Amino acid sequence: MKRHWFQALLALSSGDLHGYGIQRTIRDQTGGHMRLWPAQLYRSLNTLEEARLIRQVSPPDDEPDDERRTYYSLTRRGRERLNEEVEMMAQWVESARSTRST
């Protein structure tokens, strides 16, 4: 899975977000090392949506109604895929740590 797809799924794992919210969360969760420009972000969201890993949802009730914002949510399939990626990365890290310490 591409790094920015993983980060988008990770951003949505804690709740529904609009595109800019996803973009900002990715920047924050990577310590500013990954910044997605709008074209790349929305292409990625479209790809993730086509793969049924995310879906568009209605804005939360406490958010002002802004028709320009599209909110996204992680699907069950998306959460499962994210968990698979996390497990795979954890195995890689463990392997790297054990190799480095020998």
pLDDT tens-digit readout, 29-57: 999 999 999 999 999 999 999 999 999 99
With 90 as the cut, is the pLDDT of residue 16 above it? yes
d(CA 58, CA 72): 8
| Phi, psi dihedrals of residue 98, rounded to the nearest 5° | -70, -35
Domains delineated in the chain: 3-100 (1.10.10.10)
Residue 47: Cβ-neighbour burial (10 angstroms; 0-12, 13-18, 19+) = middle
Q: Which amino acid is present at 82?
A: L
pLDDT the model gives residue 78: 97
pLDDT at 102 over 70: no
The yes-or-no verdict on residue 69 having pLDDT over 90 is no
